[in-house]
Structure 1
């Protein structure tokens, strides 16, 4: 007797679930093929046709999943950023802004990346980061995205604190400081020989923990 017969409930939605799994596998295959090409032969030298051919799909199929090459280059980071914003919205109202952002960032990294269909190993993420930093067009896009994330984060912090971000500069100042530290740790991580996620987390926690003392404490030895 099948599971459906035992439960007495027809297995509705199974075909749809299978289609979703296939779509997720196709997207992930395109993502990994693209990142592999980008990090071995260069972003500018890679074509959409090459990426599609590597996965044995049409160019039209590629564009169902990604708007362009830039979108696939930043897909994994976009997933992390989306998780960060979602986690920040869930942080308890009693947490101070810096603590809420810190915990949201760490929670975003702890989330299961497979759930987004954007699973990328730490080693590949590091190679992609270096590729973005060394490719002028992607570096410029990265800075635009970074500024956009800052703006969204500042609005969320202002909402949490019940402030008008146009009248009170504190949300934008706090987020600018936090974002600066996050970018610094990313750059330091990108220069290291060990590409593990643990190394990135260790660097991030170390530098975020120094943010408060660096801004408010005295640096001079007694």
Structure 2
């Protein structure tokens, strides 16, 4: 009996830790989106969950880490979806399908932590907060390197001698950033609007890179 109980305890502890982390993340996003990132303190986030500041720092390195945690979650799901794409798909199409075909599943993972509407509001906070936008762009560089290496492995290439994985990922990442900014500045802040805009921009990559553009 003791062995069985001891075996079960780590699972229970991990679930409790995950619930605490999710609660802290939800509280942080709620505060960031209602009173602003700069005016929110770690103490306020911890107090909202009735834990100590020390507990907050067990899960996040700081406010910035909490503010960008949902984007990190999205990237992880995208990487998983990309790795599962059929090997015959061209790289850009594989990345396109990894986003669009898994859109609902990725957002369900986010909804397990916070309401999707709150997640979308957090997107706009990042875009409108210089320190967060700078951090988001810095992380994007690391993300693109991670995806380029994944793509190179998928295609059987050496990412350090063949520039194509990094080039195609840079183009894809640029489209995602343009989508985020145009969606954030537009009148429709729904999830469907973001997906539609992303699909439209991704569909225009090929024509934009090939041939001459018509004079306007």
**TM-score of the two chains, using structure 2 as the length reference:** 0.86
Q: Which residue does the alignment assign to 1:204?
A: 198
Aligned match of 1:184: 178
Equivalences for residues 37-76 of structure 1 within 5 A: 37-76=31-70
Aligned equivalents of 1:136, 1:183: Cα separation in 2:
15
What does 1:110-149 correspond to in 2, within 5 Å? Answer: 110-111=104-105, 113=107, 115=109, 119-149=113-143
Q: Report the equivalent of 1:28.
A: 22
Gaps of 5+ in 1: 1-9
**Normalising by the residue count of structure 1, what TM-score does the alignment of the two structures yield?**
0.84
> Partners in 2 of 1:108 and 1:58 — Cα distance?
37
Alpha-carbon spacing, 1:211–1:112, altered in 2? closer, same or farther (3 Å):
closer
The alignment's C-alpha RMSD in Å is 2.4
Distance 1:22 1:33 in 2: 17
Q: Distance in 2 between matches of 1:117 and 1:17?
A: 22
Q: Distance in 2 between matches of 1:31 and 1:142?
A: 17
State the 1:167 CA deviation: 2.5
Q: Determine which structure has more spread, i.e. the larger CA radius of gyration.
A: 1
Q: Can you give the 5+ residue segments of structure 2 that lack an aligned partner in the other structure? A: none
In the aligned structure 1, how far is the partner of 2:212 from the partner of 2:168? 19
Q: 1:210 and 1:174 mapped to 2: Cα distance?
A: 14
SS for the counterpart of 2:20 is helix
How many residues in Structure 1 have an aligned counterpart in Structure 2? 212
Report the CA distance between 1:116 and its aligned residue: 6.7
Whole-angstrom CA distance in 2 between matches of 1:158 and 1:59: 42
